[in-house]
Structure formats: structure tokens, C-alpha cells
């Protein structure tokens, strides 16, 4: 496994294929308060590309083109947050998308454990380290440990998608999952418009 580091953007001419696993690292989990710092990607070939974003300009035309390419499926785990960060800081609406967390919640109804670490452990028999999850992603230089952590978050998403697709088909929920994926950018629009902590479909309104 090789982790390729890029400063500011993906290199010209890089082809990551028709399905690209994507994740991001930020200064925190609040839209508008916390900056987008790192974007990591993998084509599913066992290698990862880690892009340290140039704040506050976020001039990343190659990354933006990939996120909006209608012929490339963007594969996330909890894509709702990443897609929102990309819309806020890169000014793009990411489509089409697939979210392994949504797929897990629809397929794995026998558990309430849908985190990436839980999924990888159960479905792929691997143990992910989360030691760097809360480190300083806004630092001028990323440590080898941070690069390894960032890469680990995208290296297994293709394999998880394969497993989850089989489970969704077995449970008769493939079409429902696809409709949820298609709706995800609209859910993000609600988040960014101020409804991030509210389920507008619930009977009660809080």
C-alpha cells in the first residue's frame, strides 16, 4: 500500500476510475465554524491519495471536477458530513454518491453499530486504529501517523460496498438504498440551511 501526498489539489491527469472512495478531515464537526483540512481518496486498488487543502482559498480544480463528475460514483462513509463540507468550502455539490453508513443502517438492522470501525471489523475481519481521529488536521505538516490514518479511512470502502450490496439485495432494499443516496445532497442542503439538528419528517417539531 502506498499513500500519495498532494498539496492543494489532485495532480493533473490522475484517473481514479469509475468509483472513488472519499473521506475528509476537518478542524471539528461544525459546519461554518470548522475548516476542511484534508481530503483523502482511493480507487480501490490498495493505494490512497491524501490532499492537504490550501486554506482559505481552496483552489482545487481537479478535486472539484472529480466531485462533480456525473460518470464517477463517490463512495463515502457518512457522506452527509463530507458532502456538506465540500459544498461549503469548495463550492460544489457532490454527485452521484453512495454511503456505506446508510447502506449499513438499511441492511444490518440486527445492530446499532454502524461506525466504520465496526463495519470493517465485522464484514472484513480487520481492526482499524482511530488513534489519530482527533489530531490537529490544520497543521502545516501532516505526520506519518496522520497520513496512515487518513488513508485507512478510504482503503476499505470498496470492499464494504460489495458486502453491503449483497446484504441489501438479500433484504430487498437495494432500490430504497439508492433513493436514500440520491436524496443525500438534498439532506445536506437542509443541514446548511439550518435544519442540521432537526428531522423535518418527524411528527414532533423541536
DSSP assignment string, 155-204: HTHHHHHHHHHHHHHHTT-HHHHHHHHHHHHHHHHHIIIIITT--TTSSS
Domain 3-195 fold: Nucleotidyltransferase; domain 5 (3.30.420)
The model's pLDDT over 54-103, given as tens digits with 9 standing for 90+, comes to 999 999 999 999 999 999 999 999 999 999 999 999 999 999 999 999 99
Handedness of CA 194, 200, 202, 204 (dihedral sign): positive
In this predicted model, which residue has the larger pLDDT, 29 or 176? 176
CA gap 102, 106 in Å, rounded: 6
Domain-by-domain residue ranges, the chain?
3-195
What are 85's three cell numbers? 463540507
Rounded to two decimals, the pTM is: 0.94
The model's pLDDT over 144-155, given as tens digits with 9 standing for 90+, comes to 999 999 999 999
Give the per-residue pLDDT at 130.
67
Amino acid at each position: 500500500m502506498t499513500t500519495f501526498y498532494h498539496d492543494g489539489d489532485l495532480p493533473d491527469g490522475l484517473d481514479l476510475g469509475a468509483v472513488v472512495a472519499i473521506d475528509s478531515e476537518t478542524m471539528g464537526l461544525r459546519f461554518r465554524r470548522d475548516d476542511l483540512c484534508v481530503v483523502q481518496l482511493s480507487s480501490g486498488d490498495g493505494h490512497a491519495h491524501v490532499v492537504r487543502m490550501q486554506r482559505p482559498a481552496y483552489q482545487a480544480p481537479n478535486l472539484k471536477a472529480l466531485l462533480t463528475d456525473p460518470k464517477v460514483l463517490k463512495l463515502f462513509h457518512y457522506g452527509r458530513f463530507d458532502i456538506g463540507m465540500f459544498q461549503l468550502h469548495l463550492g460544489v455539490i457532490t454527485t452521484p454518491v453512495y454511503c456505506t453508513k446508510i447502506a449499513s443502517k438499511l441492511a444490518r438492522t440486527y445492530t446499532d453499530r454502524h461506525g466504520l470501525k465496526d463495519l470493517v471489523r465485522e464484514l472484513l475481519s480487520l481492526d482499524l486504529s482511530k488513534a489519530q481521529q482527533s489530531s490537529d488536521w490544520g497543521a502545516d505538516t501532516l505526520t506519518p501517523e496522520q497520513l496512515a490514518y487518513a488513508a485507512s479511512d478510504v482503503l476499505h470502502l470498496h470492499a464494504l460496498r460489495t458486502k453491503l450490496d449483497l446484504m441489501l439485495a438479500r433484504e430487498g432494499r437495494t432500490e430504497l438504498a439508492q433513493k436514500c443516496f440520491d436524496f443525500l445532497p438534498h439532506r445536506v442542503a437542509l443541514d446548511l440551511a439550518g435544519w442540521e439538528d432537526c428531522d423535518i419528517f418527524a411528527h414532533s417539531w423541536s
